Copies of this chain bind each other. A is one copy, B any other.
Amino acid sequence: MLMIPGPTPVPEQVLLALAKHPIGHRSGDFSKIMAEVTANLKWLHQTQNDVLMLTVSGTGAMEAGIINFLSPGDRILVGSNGKFGDRWAEVGQAYGLDVVKIEAEWGHPLDPEKFRAQLEADTGKQIKAVVVTHSETSTGVINDLETINRHVKAHGEALIIVDAVTSLGAVNLPIDEWGLDVVGSGSQKGYMIPPGLGFVSVSAKAWEAYKTAKLPRFYLDLGKYRKDAAKNTTPFTPPVNLIVGLQAALKMMQAEGLESIFKRHDRLKRATQEAVKALGLPLYAAEGAGSPAITAVAPTGVDAEQVRAVMKKQFDIVLAGGQDHLKGKIFRIGHLGFVSDRDILAAIGSLEATLVELGYEGFTPGAGVAAAARVFAKG
């Protein structure tokens, strides 16, 4: 049982769709699937913009989202309060962009005021893009994208480029309503399918920037994907089986409805947070900044890696560890995608049993499940 921020659990009907024999990607049958999937992706993204599919991980999708719209030396602001924010800064540096990091301590959300200050001071309109990680997977923090984006809109020139890898399909992200230019995501997250597909939505304003953008690219050239998507095909061989799996997953998401999906993730997040608090374990994310996709716990009085080991061995539940300097210091409970209230109760119950086994004394056994149950009772 996977309770990590990706790969996330995959429903049985999707697994069975994956096992279908691949069909030719240049066939009429596949074009029909592409047309349906693309329409449903636009529904999920709440946008009329292009939503393009690439054979890449989420990082590949984000790199495409950055390099297609910029030229060497362009200044970009990159929000950095975790491993993924740092990664987009590294991408910019690898391509010779003038990267200005807007930092916050890991575990804390980005301060929108810092973005406002930089953007307002930029009267010469040198800032060409602002890159924000919506849900920072490494720390379980959600950033205030809506407010940061308002400051970007006030600037007028800069594109807003969003890492929505662990927020899309988990929390409301109204691309058209907010005017988000580029939004990147990956299949093994809210999409409920295995890893191997990346998605990038692109606004008309971003396509304007594309026309003069000079960073080199070929496989990640989104113009090629756009041109072929208009004909319901792809410039390079797509992962046919994953797309057939995605077709099945999107049907399930439509049956549940966007609002229900967002409500479910919010409920899972609150239940997990309340349960962890009831166990006397500190949440890593600052109060009110917990991600709807993942809850990071920084345990005291018990070792994070021992918790993960017992959870895996005794209860067959995989939790994520900490990354980089957080290795061994936190564990992370994923509640993204195909996850139910019951899964949270199973995870919290197993966590309690693990804590008992490890001799942790900071809690009353049963308190975590009781706290989660109260959240579920209220809805």
A interface residues with partner B (beta carbon < 8 Å)? 2, 4, 6-7, 9-10, 15-16, 18-27, 55-60, 63, 90-91, 94-96, 186, 188, 194-196, 215-221, 236-242, 318, 320-321
Given contacts A23-B318, A239-B239, list 16 more A-B pairs with CB under 8 A: A7-B22, A7-B25, A18-B18, A26-B321, A27-B318, A55-B56, A55-B57, A57-B237, A57-B238, A58-B237, A59-B218, A59-B219, A194-B240, A216-B216, A219-B220, A239-B242
Q: Which of B219, B221, B240 contacts A7 (CB 8 A)?
A: B240
Give Cα A237 to B185, complex, Å.
Answer: 12
Give Cα A339 to B182, complex, Å.
Answer: 43
Whether the pair B94, A221 counts as a contact (CB closer than 8 A) is yes
- Which chain B positions have C-beta within 8 A of A21? 2, 9-10, 15
Give Cα A27 to B21, complex, Å.
Answer: 28
Asked whether A15 and B19 contact (CB < 8 A) given A60-B55, A195-B238, A219-B56, the answer is: yes
Q: Which of B7, B19, B24, B95 contacts A237 (CB 8 A)?
A: B7
Number of copies: 2
Q: Which of B16, B63, B195, B217 contacts A239 (CB 8 A)?
A: B195
Q: Which of B10, B16, B237 contacts A188 (CB 8 A)?
A: B237
A92 CB, nearest partner CB in chain B, Å: 9
Q: Which secondary structure dominates where chain A touches chain B?
A: loop
- Which chain B positions have C-beta within 8 A of A9? 21
- Which chain B positions have C-beta within 8 A of A219? 56-57, 59-60, 63, 91, 220
Give Cα A95 to B219, complex, Å.
Answer: 11
- Which chain B positions have C-beta within 8 A of A216? 94-96, 215-216
Give Cα A21 to B196, complex, Å.
Answer: 14
Whether the pair B194, A241 counts as a contact (CB closer than 8 A) is yes
* CB pairs A–B below 8 angstroms (7 shown): A7-B23, A7-B24, A24-B320, A55-B60, A63-B219, A216-B216, A239-B239
